[in-house]
Amino acid sequence: MDRTEFAARIDHTVLGPETTFADVQAVLDEADEYGMNACIPPCYVAEASEYAPDVTLATVVGFPHGQHSTAAKREEAVDAWENGADELDMVINIGRLKAGADDAVETDIAEVVAAVPIPVKVIIETALLTDDEKHRACEAAAEADADFVKTSTGFADGGATVEDVELMAEYLPVKASGGVGSYEEALAMFDAGAERIGASSGVEIVSGAPEA
C-alpha cells in the first residue's frame, strides 16, 4: 500500500492522564497533515470535532481498566457519539472474563454496540490474558457484533504482538495497539492480519512509509 493508504490505517493517539486540549490539538494537527485518524480522551471530543472536523475521531469507553458498569459504558458511548466521535474503543471487563463470566462480558459489549450507530472496537488487553482468555474475549466481541478487537490500552505491561494479532484476526478485524513505534513494526502487524494501528508515534510510523 502507498503512504496515503497506510496513513489512513493509523490511529494517532494521545490518552495519558495529563493530556491537555493543547496536546489533543497537536495530535489533531498531525493527523490532519499526515492523513491519519486520531484517538483522544472523551472529555475533549466535542472540542476536537469542532477543531478538526475532517479528521476521523475515535475515543475510549470504560478506559483504561474496563470496570465501569455496563450502564456507565453505554452512557459514555452515547455521549461520545453525540459529541462527534466517529469510532469508539471500549475496554472489556477483564475481571469478569477471568472469572469465567463470559456472558456478562458479551452483554457488556453488546449494550455499547447497540447504543451507537458507529464502529466499536473492543480492547481485550492481551498482556493480562492467557491464550484461552484471548480466544474467549474475541468470541464474546464477535457474538456481540463488535466491529474490531484491539490488543491493548497502552496502560498495562506489554502491548501488541504478532502472535496475538494472528490469534485475534481469526475472529474480527484487529487494531494493534501498544508498543508499535516504527513503520517496520506497524508493517509486521499488518502482515500478521491487523487492519488498524493505534500509536502515539503516528508521525514517526507514517514518515517511515514509502511515498509511492
Residues marked active site are found at 89, 150, 175
How far apart, in whole angstroms, are the C-alpha atoms of residue 29 and residue 41? 16
d(CA 107, CA 65): 17
Whether 207 contacts 182, CB under 8 Å: no
Written as nine digits, the cell of 190 is 499488518
Q: Does 41 sit behind a cis peptide bond, omega within 30 degrees of 0 on the bond before it?
A: no
Which residues lie across from 61 on neighbouring strands? 90
Cα–Cα distance measured from residue 171 to residue 150, given in angstroms and rounded to the nearest whole number: 11
Judge contact between 127 and 156, C-beta under 8 A. Answer: yes
Measured distance CA(171)–CA(155) in Å, rounded: 24
| Helix intervals (H) in 8-82 | 21-34, 45-51, 70-82
Q: Which three cell numbers stand for residue 127?
A: 498482556
Q: Alpha carbon of 105 to those of 47, 68, 83, 85: distances in Å?
A: 32, 12, 26, 23
